[in-house]
Copies of this chain bind each other. A is one copy, B any other.
Amino acid sequence: MKPDDKPPIDATARKPIVPNRLYAPYLEASWGFKNAWYPALFSSEVGENEVKGVTIASHDIALRRVKGRVHAIQDRCAHRGVKMSLRPTCLTDETITCWYHGFTYGLNDGTLKTIVASPDDPLIGQVRIRTYPVEERAGIIFVFVGDEDYAPAPPLTADLPIQITDDANPVAHILDAHVYVRGIHREGNSNWRIAVENGFDPGHLLIHWDNVIVAATDRRMGLGARPIAEDAIKIIDEPNGPRGMMNMYNTRAYKFFMENKVIGMKARGKTPYYARTSVYLPGVLLVEHWPVPGWAQYEWYVPTDDRHHVYWEVLVGHCRDDQERREADYLYDHFFEPLALRDFNDNDVFAREAMQDFYENRDGWNAETLCAFDESVIMWRKIAARFNRGIQDPPHRRGR
């Protein structure tokens, strides 16, 4: 869609609804996409025999680690619906027990194995709660969330950024053998889609204009970038692999704005700097060469409900030995986390939460007015609308 084809727009008037039709399913995905791998917790957050509860796209899930392996099981007892993770009760290595009446489920298949208070109950062996596939890689516990009968689950790699190959000095992939992976996650008070779109948006540099990491490293940061070539935005559609898109930042495909004469603003900083963003289903961002060359920042925006997500920021770097690990720890602790993951990205969190009211209460999906660099956002919406494996239904709300 070329913005030039649009009729003149008065933001105070009703918007034409045509553009939305290009990605209508995306607009339905308030609760996220289903049948996808999402990060649930860092490995370090679930110790041996611990039970932790998470909520992903309305699914309440209990994670328990037994003999090193993490199991994921529905965090709602079949009996009266309480979350088992509220008072973790584990009586055998193969089961999880509800703290209330002792409904005890097999971790492997969710079958009711016994009821502490009713050992000969007819329900035993007849009732089942669901379990979820788990992959624990790179210090992160990933859970496949969606329909229980969706099979086979795609490989984890299908829902991760691609392996970078078109770069002389490529950043490491999170699943590479010799990598350093560390990060944080926190609650985001906005719909997950608003958060994703902020991540790779080529036009939001103004909120980072005066950030400490930019000033301290004297990086040359332009004002914005607009796709001008047909292949400026590369669609990624690997066989059985990730689906997404990449902003192919180079001076042939993109026009970079270093000055805006109307308001008298020029690019700051003396050191040229190259970074590149790409985004993948179900909502994963890769920023290559960030926060410093050779490193990569991964971000996930994991839907909790239709108004909240968990914002994951993970840094990935090459790391061959303990010496390099110690060096990476030093950089992470004293530079990357405080200046990149916190100070810099706090501005993104602010922007996402600032959009929420408009999209939630003011019909933002129809009332917004997208501009030239939003071709990138529109492409993402179309890709997401086309390649997702299903749209998560809202939870059932009939019961009050």
Contact = CB atoms under 8 A, between A and B. Distances in A.
A360 B3 contact: no
B10 A400 contact: no
A270 interface: no
Nearest to A203: B117
Interface string A112-127: 0111111111110011
B119 A370 contact: no
A359 B361 CA distance: 23
Contacts of A126: 8-9
Nearest to A4: B122
Interface of A: 3-4, 6, 8-12, 30, 74, 76, 78-83, 86-87, 89, 91-92, 95, 97, 99-104, 113-123, 126-130, 148, 201-207, 223-226, 255, 257, 259-265, 306, 350-351, 354-355, 357-373, 395-400
A369 B78 contact: yes
A350 to B, nearest CB: 8
A372 B80 contact: no
Contacts of A6: 122
16 contacts: A10-B127, A79-B368, A87-B350, A92-B262, A99-B206, A101-B201, A103-B371, A114-B260, A115-B203, A116-B263, A119-B259, A123-B371, A359-B399, A360-B400, A362-B395, A366-B398
Nearest to A6: B122
Contacts of A207: 99-100
A255 B366 CA distance: 58
A99 B263 CA distance: 13
Contacts of A95: 263
A117 B364 CA distance: 21
Contact of A79 (B102, B366, B369): B369
B9 A206 contact: no
Contact of A81 (B86, B121, B358): B358
Given A81-B364, A359-B81, A121 B371 contact: yes
B81 A116 contact: no
Contact of A354 (B83, B117, B371, B399): B83
A206 B101 contact: yes
Contact of A355 (B81, B355, B396): B81
A88 to B, nearest CB: 13
A315 to B, nearest CB: 25
A363 B399 CA distance: 4
A339 B190 CA distance: 44
Contacts of A114: 260, 262-263
Nearest to A354: B82
A358 B129 contact: no
A76 B372 contact: no
Contacts of A263: 91-92, 95, 97, 102, 104, 113-114, 116
Contacts of A206: 89, 99-102, 116-117
B123 A372 contact: yes
Given A123-B369, A123-B372, A399 B364 contact: yes
Contacts of A369: 78-79, 123, 127
A145 B197 CA distance: 33
Nearest to A351: B100
Contacts of A261: 119
B366 A204 contact: no
B204 A100 contact: yes
A221 to B, nearest CB: 11
Contacts of A130: 12
Contact of A128 (B11, B30, B362): B11
A296 to B, nearest CB: 24
